[in-house]
Amino acid sequence: MSSKLEQLKAITDVVADTGDIEAIARFQPLDATTNPSLLLKAAQLPAYAHLLHESLETAGGDPVAACDHLAVAIGAEIVKLVPGRVSTEVDARLSFDTQATINKARQLIELYASRGIDRSRILIKIASTWEGINAARVLEQEGINCNLTLLFSFAQAVACADAGATLISPFVGRILDWYKANQPQLSFAADRDPGVESVTRIYNYYKQHGYNTIVMGASFRNTDEIEGLAGCDRLTISPQLLAELADDQGELQRRLSSDNSGEPQSRISYDEPGFRLAMNEDAMATEKLAEGIRNFIADQVKLENLLRDL
């Protein structure tokens, strides 16, 4: 029998959640995703040392601009290794500024174009705030495809689909983290994982209502969560968990399918007040979105300081 990783690839598009070229070459995913935290890790690998200096020089010594050049430089290397797309993230400090997010996304696409890489190979990652979702609406109409990340709630998923986002990255492990911290008296076995349940609901809703937005589960804590979403459109997985799946020769059961999307769900939509109220009512999503943005900003600043100190 083939490994669980090979079985998963037969029913789900597997994406590498890393900026490590060696890991991407080993596991041969369809796509790859990066973010400020992953870029910070990648920037400390010997294989990328020359890119740091090149990016800083190209940016005229400006460490903030150099981060964009570095993200694109690493993305350009990854593009050579995957047949699909590379996700490159907009500065998280722009998460609540629609126009600034649009401008940054256009700039990143221009940097890729200067390297001869067509926009069809790139997804621009944007935090799933109301402002970020509306930036994606504009960018998608311009042919700049977007990956809406830091997605923790059903309201975010609905708004992203209505905005025409190419792809969403609903987080799994971070949802579980929140429930374990806030409801320690409960048991969250593999079949009751709240992160898996959240992505399953979103996937089924999209399929029932004919949305083309791709559902890509993200932020996994263990392989049980991954197996619980086998059959999802895409799953973005860390090298460590990819290795565990590659070493497991057990049978993988399909869990999600567009042919069996569960109990019917009524179609809904949100205007801005409705979206903000829904987020306010969801303590987990509100807290994890804010925390995720803060953490990405912190790692962005660390990366800028690393470049500044070269």
- Give residue-wise pLDDT tens across range 20-76: 889 999 999 999 998 989 899 988 988 888 999 999 999 999 999 999 999 999 999
Which of the 8 DSSP states describes residue 263?
S
> What is the predicted pLDDT for the residue at 143?
98
CATH of the domain at 105: 3.20.20.70
180 is catalytic: no
215, amino acid identity:
V
CA dist., res. 150 & res. 128, Å (int): 6
- What separation in angstroms does the CA of 306 have from each of 49, 56, 72, 101? 11, 11, 17, 24
Domain assignment present for residue 44? The answer is yes
Nearest CA-CA partner of 297 in 127, 162, 142:
127
pTM of the model: 0.96
Q: Which residues of the chain have pLDDT under 50?
A: none
Domain assignment present for residue 207? The answer is yes
Domain assignment present for residue 270? The answer is yes
Length of the chain: 310
Which residue among the candidates 125, 207, 288, 302 is catalytic per the annotation?
125
Domain assignment present for residue 149? The answer is yes
Nearest CA-CA partner of 120 in 145, 142, 97:
145
Domain assignment present for residue 29? The answer is yes
Count how many domains the chain has: 1
Domain assignment present for residue 310? The answer is no
CA dist., res. 289 & res. 147, Å (int): 15
- What separation in angstroms does the CA of 32 have from each of 75, 80, 216, 231, 251? 9, 11, 12, 18, 26
Domain range holding 98? 4-305
> What is the predicted pLDDT for the residue at 187?
85
Query: How is residue 14 written in tokens?
Result: 């597997």
